[in-house]
Amino acid sequence: MKITLLMCLFSLFLSFILSLISMTISKKTMLDKEKLSPFECGFNPFSSSRIPFSLRFFLISIIFLIFDVEIALLLPIPFILLTKFSIFTFSLFMIILLIGLFHEWNEGALEWAN
């Protein structure tokens, strides 16, 4: 019992000492305010939150998410193409994706520069 109590007190003391040393040695100052602030898509988080941002950035991120989900759904396809129903489902899925791709292309959302 004494050994267990001694080990608990020792670990508590050691963690306290290491925390104290860490706080003493750390070089956090007010000069590092910019480094320690969060970086949010290139916006200054300390200014107004109602600044207009580029709609192209939003479209690129949405298209990335769509194609990311598409890849996640297409990777297991070779393993499930064993029945006619799965081939039909895969074909329908690909047709829907291609229609969406052509729609984005016609809308000009895939043009990165003017």
Domain map (residue ranges) of the chain: 52-113
What pTM value is reported for the model? 0.41
Give dist(CA 10, CA 14) in Å, integer: 6
Biggest distance spanned by C-alpha atoms of the chain: 78
Q: Does residue 34 register a pLDDT over 70?
A: no
Q: Is 59 left (phi over 0), alpha (psi -120 to 50) or beta?
A: alpha
Taking residues 68-93, what's their average pLDDT?
77
- Please name which of 90, 58, 56 lies closest in space to residue 76, comparing C-alpha atoms: 90
Looking at residue 30, what is its pLDDT?
Answer: 53
Q: Which residue has the higher pLDDT, 30 or 65?
A: 65
